[in-house]
Amino acid sequence: MDKDLEQALINQSANGDAIAFRRLVEDTQNFALSIAYKFLNNMTDAEDIVQEAYVRVWKNLHRYDPDFRFKTWLGKIITNLCLDTKKSSYRKMNIRAVDAATSRRVSDANETGKHLEHEELKEIIHQLAASLSEKQRTVFILRDLQQLEPEEVCRIVSMSEGNLKSNLYYARLKMKSLLEQYYSEKKRF
């Protein structure tokens, strides 16, 4: 969406124009859902978070900083909500991730076809990402899985460029090692 049109819609929405806000939602909801899904690895939870995020956006439109792109601001709200809701359940997921990955190896041994392979890989990466530290997981999801620009990630997580690179380095190092471990063990089955 054009920056001027986006700003006009934000201004109209801030004045209570629900039709303008609906256009903003339609234009950005897939982006919001995509981030939420990558954090939560569950479509129902992701849709709930997206709904909550837009309510927050609506309530805080008068505080919107035009220096941010709308999507960056939305991404920040989504990320914070996902981290808040998952803070406690991530620890549980962390343990489950290893179990699930192990059981998958057996059950999926006979599965063929590119789609299933792709779905499995996606699932495994999301599960393995759960074992990263919160900062590493956040930058890995936003930069590598959502493919946002480094500057955008820095703004969303309020992190310096150096800090971002350091967290990205450790996240990729660990993810690569976990993925290699997963595939080498899968070959044995």
Q: What is the largest CA-CA distance in the chain?
A: 62
Burial 41-72 (b: 16+ CB within 10 A, else e): beeebbbebbeebbeebeeebeebeeeeebbb
Residue 145 in contact with other proteins, rule: CB under 8 A? yes
Identify which of residues 92 and 120 has a Cβ nearer to other proteins in the complex.
120
* DSSP symbols for 10-53: HHHHHTT-HHHHHHHHHHHHHHHHHHHHHHH--HHHHHHHHHHH
Residues 40-59 that bind other proteins (CB under 8 A): 43, 47, 50-52, 54-55, 58-59
Residue 188 in contact with other proteins, rule: CB under 8 A? no
Residue 114 in contact with other proteins, rule: CB under 8 A? no
Identify which of residues 91 and 169 has a Cβ nearer to other proteins in the complex.
169
Residues 6+ apart with CB under 8 A from 133: 170
Residue 185 in contact with other proteins, rule: CB under 8 A? no
Could you give the string, one character per residue 72-101, with x where binding to other proteins holds by CB under 8 A and - elsewhere? ------------------------------
Run of H or E residues at 185: helix 161-188
Binding residues for other proteins (CB under 8 A): 16, 18, 21-22, 25-26, 29-30, 33-34, 37-38, 43, 47, 50-52, 54-55, 58-59, 118, 121-122, 125, 144-147, 150, 164-165, 168-169, 172-173, 175-176, 179-180
